[in-house]
Amino acid sequence: GLFNSLPSHPNLKYYETIHSSAFNHQIVKRGLKDSTHRFNKIKEVSFNALGRDFRLILNPRKGLLDPQFKAYAVDGEGNEKLIQVDHENFYEGRVFGEMSSEVTAHLEDGMMTATIHTPDDTYHVEPSWRHIPEAEDETMIVYRGSDVKYSWEDHPSHTHGGNKMCDFVKEGHHNDSHFHDHKHQDYQEVVNKDYSESPSEPEGHTRVKRQQAEAYNFNGEKTRCPLLLVADYRFFREMGGQSYKTTVNYL
């Protein structure tokens, strides 16, 4: 078949690549006047991959970032550099004809990073270089969420269909003497191995069991909270392609 020549991937059972020229972009609605309303401009992006036609109806994603949002790069000396973020390249929408679908996407220079949720599966579109170092320029990789091979699935203690989430870090909590969570231990061992050369975890940052998280009381009363996202150098190099802008957009 057309995709049989693709190299195998250690983390994907199956994937396809597609060139940016195979994507069809068109504006299907543009307001007569400039407006901040999210439906003032509607874009349609269509392509074929994984045996199906994708027709994405997208509108600018408003409210994703606070107007005062700022991104910085910090070098080894602690010097900060402001990184400009283009809010206009983030989109949301759905698959045409599928009311229960949901799409989040970032579009820039003909390249797309997107997550497409449908009732049957979740589809991911990313620049190919992020997963295939030898990939051609301006190509994207497309794969199903169900085709992702998680490292812990081969472990004897893995339970199929179990939770794939890891634990979180709680600021200012100092009591970690009773922490032990078998379900997430494998993940933590991978983290410790991959970052064994990194500085030890700063004091005051403690992993917390799910049962210990009750103090957060996620009752839905608050819909916004401050969030700090930090990418280390490995993330900057491998997921951001050593580009500050690409790293920030991916985060």
Which residue ranges make up each domain of the chain? Answer: 1-149
Please classify residue 58 by burial: count the beta carbons closer than 10 Å to its beta carbon, then call 0-12 exposed, 13-18 middle and 19+ buried.
Answer: buried
- Separation of alpha carbons 183 and 188, rounded Å: 10
Q: Which two tokens stand for residue 40?
A: 């003032």
For 88-143, how does the pLDDT look when each residue is reduced to its tens digit (9 = 90+)? 788 999 999 888 999 999 988 888 999 999 999 999 999 888 888 777 888 999 99
In this prediction, residue 75 carries a pLDDT of 84
Contact in structure between 160 and 146 (CB atoms under 8 Å): no
Contact in structure between 18 and 51 (CB atoms under 8 Å): no
Task: Provide long-range contacts, Cβ within 8 A and 24+ apart, for 228-234.
Answer: 232/195, 232/198, 234/194, 234/195
DSSP state of 198: S
Per-residue pLDDT tens listing for the chain (251 residues): 344 457 778 788 999 999 999 998 887 666 555 555 555 678 899 999 999 999 999 988 877 777 778 888 888 888 888 888 877 788 999 999 888 999 999 988 888 999 999 999 999 999 888 888 777 888 999 999 999 888 766 655 555 555 555 555 555 554 444 434 443 444 344 444 444 444 444 444 444 444 444 444 555 566 667 777 888 888 888 878 778 888 887 77
- Separation of alpha carbons 241 and 137, rounded Å: 13
- Separation of alpha carbons 84 and 1, rounded Å: 43
Please classify residue 125 by burial: count the beta carbons closer than 10 Å to its beta carbon, then call 0-12 exposed, 13-18 middle and 19+ buried.
Answer: buried
Question: What is the enclosing helix (H) or strand (E) of 244?
Answer: helix 244-250
**Which residues, at least 6 apart from 6, have a Cβ–Cβ distance to it below 8 Å?**
15, 16, 17
DSSP state of 192: H
CA angle centred on 168, ends 74 and 203, rounded to 5°: 60
